[in-house]
Structure 1
Amino acid sequence: MNIRIPPSIQKGCTIGVTAPSFGCTTEPYISRFKCAKTQLESAGYKISAGETVFKSDGKGISTDPRTAARELEEFYCSGSNSAVISAGGGELMCETAGFIDFEKIAAAPAKWFMGYSDNTNFIFPLVTKCGVAAIYGPTITGFGKKWQETELYSIGLLEGKIKETSGFEKFQLPENDNSSTEKIEEQTYCLTEKKIIRLFPQENEQVHFSGILLGGCLDVLANLCGTHLDCMKEFNKNSGPVIWILESCDGNPAEIRRQIWHLKSADWFENAAGFLVGRPLASLGKTLFGIDQYNAVTDILADLEVPIVMDADIGHVDPVVPIAMGLQAEVSADRRNFKIQYDRR
């Protein structure tokens, strides 16, 4: 499949911010949005925020899903914005996605959209239905702190300057996530836990695989499977090998196992070249009925006989590596770290 890669953004360009999921209407998100706007403007960009960013009259999203869908379409298709960053994650962006005119999106000039978690509802069909690459990375409030590797990688992908990314030495426990609004521009990640990559099959000391990067939040992907936004059957016919990027937000170990089973049974993984799986937020270090964050995935995928890299810096446990979904890439990993090398040709 010929995936369109959006043009790189330049200093002086306008970045649109819209809220197809949650907006920025409570703390610390109000303060983080203000800080992010200031820092992005200091980096040379203009910020144009939509009305939905400041709304909170919706159920599980910023506002009425039709309104949220129209603003996302407007911001994506407008010639005034060079890129779009989502205001936040959330719970029910599936309702917004149900009202998005993806034919209109596909006909528009390609531009970078960035967000993660609930934003899988737009990013995944943007790649598989519209054939346009998108970045699975921070929402706007993620830039409302001191910029570290995550934020610098993300800006680098938007600017077309990043051809290779790799994971980090340590990670932050979810309970250490700072929600304070004091000296917000100086806040950094609290990195206390040493990362250890798990490779499957376990006899592997290192792995290499290549293909199109695709995936997102399992909570969302399992929900999209079988709907009118599910284009995986056609995508698999035309895509070639796929590197699956998977991570979980709310799922317990049993739910993750059900979700992996669901997608595999729907033949989503028939072109899988390998899997890069992030640390799960709710299931981190948890066991339920003998199921943990590892066998929830590996038991179901074992018969595909492809590499599985787990505990990668992707998803809801910071710090994370942003992923340019839809791009061709090569993944290499050992038990200490992983690396993604992009092919932008």
Structure 2
Amino acid sequence: MIRYPFLEEGATIGVTAPSSGVQEELHDWLKLSCSRMKMKGFNVICGETVWTQVKAKSAQAQLRATELNDMIRDDNIDLIIPPWGGELLIEILEYIDFENLKCKWILGYSDISVLLLAITLKTGIATAHGTNLLDLRGEYTDETTAMWQTVLSTNSGESILQHSSLNYQKEWNAAPSPSVFHLTEQTCWKVITNTNVKIQGRLLGGCIDVIRHLIGTPFGDLQYFQHHYINNEPILWYLENCELNTADLRRSLVQLKLAGWFDHCTGLMFGRSDANRPIDNYTVEDVYKELSEELQIPIIFDIDCGHVPPQMTFINGAYAEVEVEDGKGTVKQYFKP
């Protein structure tokens, strides 16, 4: 069965950097993010790793793992939110104390999704794919992103409904603004198989660039998860592409298929992406169409997930009903044990 943490009011957030830390010139962003959380009634404890960044990582792997393990064990810390993603989280997996993980939320995306997926697959503890801490530094937060707190405050056995965003951000702009995101483009969720679709299953996913590297390791045993934690219920995958061109995306999806990750799968959802560069006129829509035909399942794309904000909060392990009608999407997640 799946175990769900619960976010209490006035909880303490532990901020650690299991992937990338924050370089010195951006420390003010981190301080501002922490102050925003305190204004919302949270307590905040920052680890040492968040303040450093050298050679594509916040610190050496064992140091990052030790700080994360300590925060997970600490009864005074209720929720862990890294500052953001990065490149090399996979280095710390062998040092994580999976046998003694306490049931508390870890929230993030990008490279952090390696940690999130590994925890859920190995332990059955639900994890939260959504905003990072640095993106919460604005004076206000859009409705889609802000749902993270409501979602994490859902009781086990209850459900939570999220709606697709009205608009998304076309490009990043670091200029000072009351809101971190500049949502200017109209959101439209799309479906390969037909105009409207309704699918359901246990949610799993993350950034395909990095979670694909869990295949064949002790941290990516999907069959074990299915047998031991969800009674072989169907999987509903959500995936997002950070940097892969279409050929590399296709190779990665075929690898997941050959590894059995799409066995007993009811559908796939793909986030918007600035990557997806065509190779020899081979477009991302071609990739989605081929995969849909091979697996004989619907594929939804351009959803609110990943590096083109805003994004919903998806709970790895939760049972979800996803519906798309006329470009609008709803995701109802049931915190089903």
In the superposition, the TM-score normalised over structure 2's length comes to 0.93
Residue aligning to 1:4: 3
2:226 is matched with 236
Runs of 5+ unmatched residues, structure 1: none
Q: Say yes or no: does 1:178 pair with 2:173.
A: yes
Residues 86-165 of structure 1: pairs in structure 2 closer than 5 A: 86-105=82-101, 108=102, 110-145=103-138, 146-160=140-154, 163-165=160-162
**Comparing 116-125 and 297-306, the one that deviates more:** 297-306
Q: From 23, 31, 50, give the equivalent of 1:53.
A: 50
1:319 alignment counterpart: 310
Task: Specify the alignment match of 1:68 in structure 2.
Answer: 64
Q: Which moved more, 1:231-240 or 1:251-260?
A: 231-240
CA contact 1:24–1:54 (8 Å) conserved in 2: yes
CA distance in 2, matches of 1:244, 1:216: 9
**CA drift at 1:343:** 1.4
The amino acid that maps onto 1:45 is: F
The one-character-per-residue Cα deviations of 1:152-189 (angstroms, maximum 9, x if unpaired) are: 11111222287111111221113xx1223x3x5x1342
SS of 2:162's partner is strand
Partner of 2:298: 307
- Residue pair 2:78, 2:105 contacting (<8 A) in 1 also: yes
Number of equivalences: 329
- Could you say which residue in structure 1 is the equivalent of 2:190? 198
RMSD: 1.7
Q: Is the 8 A contact 2:52 2:58 kept in 1?
A: yes
Q: Tell me the secondary structure at the aligned position of residue 117 of structure 1.
A: coil
Residue from 206, 209, 213 that aligns with 1:219: 209
Structure 1 residue 225 displacement after superposition: 1.0
Local SS of the residue matching 1:320:
coil
Alignment-mate amino acid for residue 197 of structure 2: V
Percent of aligned pairs sharing the same letter: 30
Can you give the 5+ residue segments of structure 2 that lack an aligned partner in the other structure? none
Q: Rate the CA distance shift 1:64–1:289 in 2: closer, same or farther, 3 A.
A: same
Find runs of 4+ consecutive structure 1 residues off by over 4 angstroms. none
> 2:256 is matched with which residue: 238, 263, 269?
263
Amino acid in the other structure paired with 2:163:
S
* Letter paired with 2:80: V
Cα shift at 1:26:
4.2
Distance (Å, rounded) in 2 between the aligned partners of 1:53 and 1:121: 18
Kindly state the Cα deviation for residue 43 of structure 1 after the two structures are TM-superposed. 0.8
Counterpart-to-counterpart distance in 1, 2:224 and 2:34? 39
Structure 2 residue 159 is matched with structure 1 residue 168: no
Return the TM-score normalized by structure 1.
0.91
Does structure 1 retain, via aligned residues, the 8 Å contact 2:292–2:298? no
Counterparts of 1:255 and 1:98 in 2: how far apart (Å)? 27
**Counterparts of 2:31 and 2:152, CA distance in 1:** 21
